[in-house]
Amino acid sequence: MRKGHDGVLFCGLGQGIVFALLAVFFIIGVGCSSDGKLEEGLTLSLLKNCTYRVGTSTVRLQEGSLTVGQSINDYFYVGLADAALGDLNGDGKNDGAVILKNSGGGSGMFYELTAMLCEAGGKDSGAGRGGLRQTNSIELGDRVEILTLLLMRGRIIMEMKAHGPDDPSCCPSVKVKRFYILRDGELVETAGDT
């Protein structure tokens, strides 16, 4: 058993099986599928059915989640833990702040924050409506508890419970509030008064 770069544990050939399955099913660009246009920006429904980069994998969620495999050797889960809409890049269209959770089996559930931007120069959605781009992802931790997620006035505001030095893995107890902005197309943490 070994730990992957993203903290997910893999057993023997399990990693190869997971990546092979993901490659077969999900070799598509970052985007969403919908009958609607992205003229006004993203919706929560679109975010539940987007394709996301998670670690080194690209996965397409269906109604907010994806599960591949059944045993510890080939299991991989990704889910939409929370999402918020608002204008992050200042173009007047809804963008999405997204918290994804993933597990490769076992008790760990790893959380990360990313954003989906609705912009003219973004990667095509795959359905000819274009203008959708995923930013970098920021790791939030294993088995954290998301309390609130807001996207307003060009910044993401997130409250969560993280692990204190004496907390067991199951039970984070330290309430933290974090702020993120878009700088040069990437999410970066910033002070709360910006």
User: What are the domain boundaries of the chain?
Assistant: 2-190
Distance CA 172, CA 58 (A): 29
DSSP label at residue 64: T
pLDDT at site 39? 56
**pTM of the predicted structure, to 2 decimals:** 0.77
Task: Extract the runs of DSSP E, i.e. beta strands, from the chain.
Answer: 2-3, 9-10, 51-54, 57-60, 65-68, 76-86, 95-103, 110-123, 132-134, 138-142, 145-152, 155-162, 174-183, 186-190
pLDDT at site 118? 85
Buried b (16+ CB within 10 A) or exposed e, 6-41: eebbbbeebbebbeeebeeebeeebbbebeeebeeb
pLDDT at site 45? 92
pLDDT at site 91? 87
| Alpha-carbon 149 to chain mean position | 13
pLDDT at site 120? 63
What is the block-wise mean pLDDT of the chain (194 residues), using blocks of 10 residues?
Answer: 35 37 36 48 89 92 94 90 95 93 91 90 44 92 96 96 94 96 95 71
pLDDT at site 106? 84
pLDDT at site 40? 61
The amino acid at 171: C
- Max intra-chain CA distance, the chain: 51
CA distances (Å), origin 14, targets 78, 103, 153: 16, 13, 43
